[in-house]
Amino acid sequence: MSEALVVEYPEGSEPEVTLDIREVTDAFLGEGDTLIDVTYSSLNYKDAMALAGDRGVMRTNPLIPGIDAVGVVTESTSERFQPGDTVVLNGAGLGEFRHGGYTTRLRVDSASAVALPEGMTPWEAAAIGTAGYTAALCVLGLLDHGLRPEDGPVLVTGATGGVGSIALLLLKKRGFETVALTGRVAEHGDWLRSLGASAVEDRAGFVERGRPLQKGRFAGVVDTLGSHALVNALAQLRWGGVATACGLAQGADLPGTVLPFILRGVILQGINSVDAPVVLRERAWDLLARELDRDALADLTETVPLSHVAAAGAELLAGKRHGRAVVDVHA
């Protein structure tokens, strides 16, 4: 038996979502070649949506949310892992299409798991979570296209979120000048500068329709917003600039033109952390293990007990949280 937080809605036109911590059987956990004892999960925006009963995230009903899981293997038919190994899982349908990490035991597909990097604690891996792993994929996207610190500043949108904050730390380690974009400059400006932002700008200047080609200010962009924010960022890239897009907090539309692409040769790379192959996952975790400031990570992270994660999720949806939250599934 496992103890899990389960979200469920009865079938009907206007279902009322129920959310409770209950005991579930191993059979309830679904299919997979590996069973793990979960130590930690984390709280991401998708998790907050699932906790609120958002059907766009809840692709199975009932659902154990939690797109991250860190735990110790107890059973596995995979050649990659043995009982006693500590593994990390991010995305791969967890907390959406199949049960996720808000449980004390979880059955998973080992093809999407990576071994906990040497020297990293399970708590740190959960603090990094999908947000930090996605940030690492974004930074790898910039680096793989040859971006260097001397090319110019990198804009990070949604900078107070998990992806943005960890992207700032990773880019700082690499020597990049960064500009953090946020809707709460007065509230979080000093904090963002402490993470490495060279400057902090108001999101309001990016979220409305702008000119299709603007002054080239940035060499790179890490974008979590989509819509007009991404379009304006693309319009402000310098010749050969690179943007990595991983989110749609403002919207899924891209109401722009081809001018930045055909007149400045800019590159837009999509980042899909959910379905990334294991080789790319391992590259991202290797980057995090080598270059992420663990003390800074600890400073921007709090630990939330499983019993309080629904309230924390509501705060996240309301824009009242910043940084990262580790979920202790045993508390």
pLDDT tens string, the chain, 331 residues long: the values are 999 999 998 776 566 889 999 999 999 999 999 999 999 999 999 999 999 999 899 999 999 999 999 999 999 999 999 999 999 999 999 999 999 999 999 999 999 999 999 999 999 999 999 999 999 999 999 999 999 999 999 999 999 999 999 999 999 999 999 999 999 999 999 999 999 999 999 999 999 999 999 999 999 999 999 999 999 999 999 999 999 999 999 999 999 999 999 999 999 999 999 999 999 999 999 999 999 999 999 999 999 999 999 999 999 999 888 889 999 999 9
Does any domain span residue 184?
A: yes
Does any domain span residue 126?
A: no
- CA dist 54 and 19 (Å) reads 13
Amino acid code (one letter) for 331 = A
Burial 164-195 (b: 16+ CB within 10 A, else e): bbbbbbbbbbbebbbbbbbebbeebbebbeeb
Same domain, 136 and 258: yes
- CA dist 91 and 134 (Å) reads 10
Q: How many domains does the chain have?
A: 2
Q: Do the Cβ atoms of 109 and 92 come closer than 8 Å?
A: yes
Same domain, 147 and 237: yes
Burial 73-112 (b: 16+ CB within 10 A, else e): beebebebbeeebbbbbbbbbbbbebbbbbbbbbbbbbeb
Does any domain span residue 287?
A: no
Does any domain span residue 288?
A: no
Assign residue 81 the CATH number of its domain.
3.90.180.10
Does any domain span residue 47?
A: yes
Same domain, 20 and 102: yes
- The range of the structural domain enclosing residue 93 comes to 2-116+300-328
Global model pTM greater than 0.85: yes
Same domain, 22 and 78: yes
Same domain, 223 and 146: yes
- Phi/psi of residue 305, nearest 5 degrees: -70, 155
Does any domain span residue 317?
A: yes
